[in-house]
Amino acid sequence: MFIHWGLREIHLKIVYYGPGLSGKTENLRYIYNRIDPKLKGDLVMLKSREDRTIFFDFLQLEIGHIDGKKPKFNLYTVPGQVHYDLTRKILLNSVDGLVFVADSQKEMMDSNLDTILDLEENLIENGKTLENFPWVLQYNKRDLPSAEPIAEMEKKLNFFNVPFFEAVATQGQGIFPTLKEVIKMVVAHIRTRLGEENKVKSL
């Protein structure tokens, strides 16, 4: 979180994390294409010729009010390929909320789990943990024939019982419900933090 007091702006960072090719970029692309132009900035995509994210994607949304300030939600995707570990760590700096985009294909379950463990390790380095943090799970690629049943994915991945959403990012299914929930969680978390800060100021 970053507050620009002069402009009464509050910047909140939401990161889409997950294994390579799980559909993180597709989430941002869909949001960008469907959201009111007045509420969004440009979609920045730093990708290879093969359409793989090599640094990050970025999209800024301006929605609602918090404590008299205008929140700007800065959405980022990480590069999922294993060798971009350092980039993923950097992108988690000052993160306020996370969407974990899991790939529903049976053969991707190990990668999903490895990536959650990698996320947890990187968060711990940032002084945070998945247990006490605003995040949601998105089970993407539900349209594919080898999709694992939801109950199985829940057992394998959702050990903290966070809200989860089924999605088909290429068709836009589940994208906005996922985004709305993570925004709701981030705002609730920030309100608590701001409330605590105001209490300290008034002591």
Residues that bind ligand GTP (CB under 6 A): 18, 20-26, 51-53, 77, 79-81, 140-141, 143-144, 168-170
- Interface with Mg ion includes 105 (CB under 5 A)? no
- Residues 166, 144: contact at Cβ < 8 Å? no
Q: How far is the CB of 14 from Mg ion (least distance, A)?
A: 15
- Interface with Mg ion includes 27 (CB under 5 A)? no
The full DSSP string for 96-155 is: -EEEEEEE-BGGGHHHHHHHHHHHHHHHHHTT--GGGS-EEEEEE-TTSTTBPPHHHHHH
Query: In 3-state terms, what secondary structure has residue 27?
Result: helix
Cβ proximity to ligand GTP: between 31 and 183 the closer is 31
Cβ proximity to ligand GTP: between 30 and 73 the closer is 30
- Which helix (H) or strand (E) segment is 163 a member of? none
Q: How far is the CB of 88 from ligand GTP (least distance, A)?
A: 10
Q: How far is the CB of 126 from ligand GTP (least distance, A)?
A: 20
Cβ proximity to ligand GTP: between 60 and 81 the closer is 81
- Residues 104, 164: contact at Cβ < 8 Å? no
Look at residue 115 and give the partner it binds from ligand GTP, Mg ion, none, a contact being a CB closer than 5 to 8 Å depending on partner kind: none
Measured distance CA(173)–CA(74) in Å, rounded: 22
Cβ proximity to ligand GTP: between 77 and 122 the closer is 77
Q: Which of 53, 74, 104, 158 binds Mg ion (CB under 5 A)?
A: 53
Measured distance CA(160)–CA(115) in Å, rounded: 15
Contact residues toward Mg ion (CB under 5 A) are 24-25, 53
